Amino acid sequence: MKVKQGIGRFFLVMLMAIIITGCSTNKNVSTKGNETSKASKEGGTLVIARLSDAENLDHQFMSTINAASVTHRKIYEGLVGRDKNSEIQPLLAERWKQLDDTTWEFYLRKDVKFHDGTSFNANAVKATFDRLLDPKVASPRAVVFKMVKEVKVIDDYTVQFVLKEPFSPLLSILANHEGDIISPKAIEKYGKKIIQVPDGTGPFVFKSWSPGKEIVLVKNENYWGEKAKVDKVVFKVVPEETTRVSMLETGEAQIAEPLSVTMMDTVEASSNSEVYRSEGYGTEYIGFNVTKKPFNDVRVRKAIAHAIEMDSIIKGVYNNVGKKANSLMGSKVFGYSPDLKAYDYNLNEAKKLLAEAGYPNGFETTLLTMDSKERVNLAEVVQSQLKGIGIKVNVRVMEYGTFVQQVNKGDSEMFILSWRNATGDADYNQYNLFHTASQGPAGNTFFYSNKQVDGLIDAARREKDEQKRITLYAEAQALEMKDAPYIPVRVIENVAAVAKNVKGFSISPSGYLEINDVSIK
């Protein structure tokens, strides 16, 4: 494999030399991956060259969409799912109804089996959620379903979710990877330990995982629904972007992601690959650990927010890929507040606030980031801009998995992160990122706590009226902006390089790779 990658790098150098004299295009081909072609055929192996490996393959312990993209809707499925328009649709449940404010009843499919041959039924649903919510298991994702009092088996194919209190966005999180159903045999085997061999009902079956190298899935020939069009999928870890892109040119891979803005023109000029783009629910942001000095002082956080000139970052770092954010929600998310204002660029105000906080000459701090080009470039621009108010920023670039672990445990001061809202509902953003109960791996890596914000988030969870929910979220976001535990950067665009012989690929607004309909010429 190393030899092939070396050849790929040589090929890329030659390719770039050729296209220098050509012209670059700015076409957006985000819909091309969904075109059908008479020349497409079923079968073959789909190789996806990715920046980072999954941190684990147990969705009840995952903290990233990067990992969930390997298993969600591929190995595992939930009771409900989202279609290509992000609308909730039946999946393992044929239908459902809300019996009262706190009771939801689901009627399950009767023709489904897990990959190990076990029949899917109400007991499997109960076993999955009992494991998720068991304090002894200590799943970091249990907080997402903390409103569930009990999952009750009514009969073999009817199950009830009995809630502690009304929770309006229940379907939205059941459609997310935390709601995916696990084989009872796997639960019995692994218990509270991380499941090493994921076993679900999806169109792909887990074959192998070589940590740091690749994850292999194969087509589920006994899938209850429409079968996958490819025989095998390989998620190959390729940290170097030029190598990922060159693998498309040599045919070693069909998809390379993520794709940086600096490589977009190269891909678009290629005769073999093209750029996939789509707007996501999520955002990128600069975060503060508000428990660490000097960031426990809101004046320091506001000073930094005023000292960063975001327009130049959007243009210079991201080449205008992804619009400037005003919060940690994309504009497509239910509950997004268009009236929210981020801090304006104002060096005089920044210096004034620093002096008031007792740092007239600034201070020294460390900014953590993962090892992607845009994140490193952003960190370096922030480093340069904060010199203007006397703050010396040491940029520390880390491997993705290590970076996530360190930020999750609070071993950070400043960091650059993204939150890809997996449900399209503000609750997933607000509860995970800002609620006191979510501090740490659940998402609140600011270690932020505001009782008034907690109350608004909790009230929005109970509220049935959509307009009232929107108002509650607007109030919460305004308070969060006032407390400044973060600086919004941009709304994420999902960007990947895709071989032109690949049809049917997409990335959901949540950031999940959608490959069930992929075919290769």
pLDDT at 207 over 90: yes
Cβ–Cβ contacts within 10 Å for residue 221, how many? 10
Question: Which residue in this structure is represented by tokens 């595992």?
Answer: 76
Tens digits of residue pLDDT in 34-44: 444 444 468 99
DSSP 158-214: EEEEEESS--TTHHHHHTSGGG----HHHHHHHTTSPPSS---SSSEEEEEEETTTE
Arithmetic mean of pLDDT, 337-362? 97
Q: What percent of the chain has pLDDT over 70?
A: 92
Say if residues 470 and 5 touch (Cβ distance below 8 Å): no
Asked if pLDDT for residue 120 goes beyond 50, the answer is yes
Q: Predicted confidence band at 31 (pLDDT cuts at 50, 70, 90)?
A: very low
Say if residue 406's pLDDT is above 90: yes
Comparing CA positions, the residue from 214, 216, 217 lying closest to residue 204 is: 217
The strand ranges marked E within 20-87 are 45-50, 80-82
Output the pLDDT for position 41.
Answer: 65
202 residue type, one letter: G
Determine contact, residues 162/150, Cβ cutoff 8 Å.
yes
Residue 246: enclosing H or E segment and its boundaries? helix 241-250
Question: What percentage of the chain exceeds 90 in pLDDT?
Answer: 84
Q: Which H or E element spans position 262?
A: helix 261-268
Instruction: Give which of 412, 487, 403 is closest to 447, Cα–Cα.
Output: 412
Question: In whole angstroms, how large is the CA radius of gyration of the chain?
Answer: 23
Residue 139's pLDDT is 95
Mean pLDDT to the nearest integer, 361-378: 94
Point out the least confidently predicted range of 219-228, 273-282, 294-303, 346-355: 273-282
Is the per-residue pLDDT at 58 higher than 70?
yes
CA distance 210 to 118: 26
CATH entry 3.30.2090.10 includes domain 280-493: no
Question: How far is Cα 506 from Cα 495, in angstroms, rounded to an integer?
Answer: 10
Instruction: Round the average pLDDT of the chain to a whole number and report it.
Output: 91
Furthest-apart CA pair in the chain: how many Å?
Answer: 69
- Mean pLDDT across 113-134: 98
CATH homologous superfamily, domain 76-190? Dipeptide-binding Protein; Domain 1 (3.90.76.10)
CA atoms within 13 A on the CB side of 268: 19
Cα angle for residues 310, 314, 318 (degrees, 5° grid): 145
Separation CA 186–CA 339 (nearest Å): 47
Q: Are 203 and 91 in contact (CB under 8 A)?
A: no
Q: Which tokens go with 467?
A: 């307009």
- State yes or no: pLDDT of 461 exceeds 70: yes
Question: Residue 86 has what pLDDT?
Answer: 86
Q: Give the pLDDT confidence score for residue 35 in this predicted structure.
A: 40
User: Long-range CB contacts (< 8 A, 24+ apart) of 373-380?
Assistant: 373/241, 373/260, 373/262, 374/260, 374/261, 374/317, 374/318, 375/416, 377/317, 378/284, 378/313, 378/317, 378/416, 378/489, 379/416
Parse the chain into domains and list their residue ranges. Answer: 30-57+200-274+495-520, 76-190, 280-493
Q: What is the CATH class of 30-57+200-274+495-520? A: alpha beta
Residue 6, pLDDT above cutoff 80: no
> Tokens standing for 55?
């941190």
